[in-house]
A and B are shown apart, each in its own frame.
Chain A
Amino acid sequence: MTERVWEVFRQEDEGDPMIHAGNVNAPDEELAMHYAREFYGRRGESHRLWIVAREAITELDDPDLLKPPFDRSHKKPGGYIIKHKLEAAKQRAASEAGE
């Protein structure tokens, strides 16, 4: 059977990101579109759908690329903990002002 798998992405409301919702079997794009509408839109729950043949998707899941071992904390907000430094600076400033 040359049915193909089609991945469906949906947008909940205008402006929202497209989120992967699931997949359907269909022999061609036209029927895939009908079925995507059925499974991910028949209740009026989606603002927009993308229907993509599974073979059109390129997947990357190599942890060496996505989670490499060296420190990358300087690239994220959580990499900058200033609590103690801030405390120390405030205390110094307060005591200087008190002199």
Chain B
Amino acid sequence: MNDADTIQPLNARPPYEPGDAEAFYAHVGSGGKVEADDWMPDDYRAAVLKFVEMHANSELMGVLPERDWIMRAPTLRRKLALTSKIQDEVGHAQLLYRVAEDLGKPRAQMLADLLDGKTKFHNVFHYPTRSWADVGIIAWLVDAAAIVSQQALRDSSFAPYARTMKKICWEESVHIMHGRDVVLTLMNGTDTQRAMVQEALDRWWGPLMQMHGPPTDPARDKDLHWKIKAKNNEQLRQEFLSIYVPRLLELGLRIPDPALRHDETTGRWEYTEPDWAELKSVVTGHGPASQSRLDFRRASFAETQWVRDALLGNATAAA
């Protein structure tokens, strides 16, 4: 009938020319995606790399608190579940180091920087574990706090990271179920077992509240602007509290923050301000287990260098 019925042709101009940072930021700011071999401004590349590298480091260091308990898991099923969970974390480290490597930093360099204390990993992995209850609390609550962040990353402007986050979130959901199952079993058990859970919660609550980081000024948060991440730190913490505080209270557990309450009028959780100085100190390597864990990693890495060398020898021979 009339020309309005025909489809208008797409104006197939690329979203930005290589070198045009302003157009690039407009592209990512409006939800556009970036692949590893696309042109990107150095600032953006550096910001994504820093974000992903810290995430990768955290997965790798996160293995250490839990791996002692593989040996001590008290049933066959728990041993399988825990080994499987930790295996997944190593897998996540691989996925994330791969993403970071495609941004230009070799894996060996990233591992070296981690071991030299030049790059960071999340606070929760700088604390020791003391009992089987820690295994449940970590798998449930630490993974839950992580998944709250990770779900918000599934729409990251950096597409390889976004895709990896989708796989990671799917795998983490199993870990949370395992963690909750461990905690529930203990809570339904003996007085000693229940006390073990409460004691573990008392120790982990502080680090958990610090985990998402201090509130940042949204106007100056580049990671938010460039849509590397989608939510700010406070939003993530509120989300975590909304879901998990009721789930803890319904088991009869006591949360060790007398100021914690939900304000019905603002819809916001009020809580004692976390110790941001502690967070800073911990992530810069002064946590109770920071150095012992890095030492352990360094030793393991050195101990297996000959294997990597032997493999390299093979590869050059084949070439």
Contacts and interface: CB of A to CB of B under 8 A. Distances in A.
The answer on direct contact between A and B (beta carbons under 8 Å) is yes
Interface string A60-99: 0101100111111100001101111100100000000000
Contacts of A68: 12
Contacts of A67: 10, 12
A85 B1 contact: yes
Interface string B3-23: 001110111111000000000
A58 interface: no
Interface in A1-58: 1-3, 5, 22-25, 27-28, 38-39
A27 B1 contact: no
Interface string B290-319: 000000000000000000100110111011
Interface residues of A, number: 31
Interface residues of B, number: 32
A15 to B, nearest CB: 23
Contacts of A70: 9
A28 B311 CA distance: 10
Interface string B25-65: 00000000001010000000000000000000000000000
Given A63-B12, A63-B14, A88-B1, A22 B98 contact: yes
Contacts of B167: 22
Contacts of B37: 59
A2 B319 contact: yes
A38 B163 CA distance: 18
Chain B interface, >50% SS class: helix
B90 to A, nearest CB: 10
A24 B311 CA distance: 16
Interface string B96-109: 00100100001110
A27 to B, nearest CB: 4
B6 A81 contact: yes
Contacts of A22: 95, 98, 163-164, 167
Nearest to A86: B1
A38 B88 CA distance: 10
Most chain B CB atoms below 10 A, which of A3, A63, A71, A85? A3
A24 B5 contact: no
Most chain B CB atoms below 10 A, which of A2, A5, A59, A83? A2
Q: Which 10 A-B pairs have the closest CB atoms?
A: A67-B12, A73-B7, A27-B315, A71-B9, A84-B1, A2-B315, A81-B5, A69-B12, A63-B14, A79-B7
30 contacts: A1-B108, A1-B308, A2-B312, A2-B315, A2-B316, A2-B319, A22-B167, A23-B98, A25-B101, A25-B107, A27-B311, A27-B312, A27-B315, A28-B314, A28-B318, A39-B94, A61-B35, A63-B12, A63-B13, A68-B12, A69-B9, A72-B9, A73-B7, A73-B9, A79-B7, A81-B5, A81-B6, A81-B7, A84-B2, A85-B1
Interface of B: 1-2, 5-7, 9-14, 35, 37, 91, 94-95, 98, 101, 106-108, 163-164, 167, 308, 311-312, 314-316, 318-319
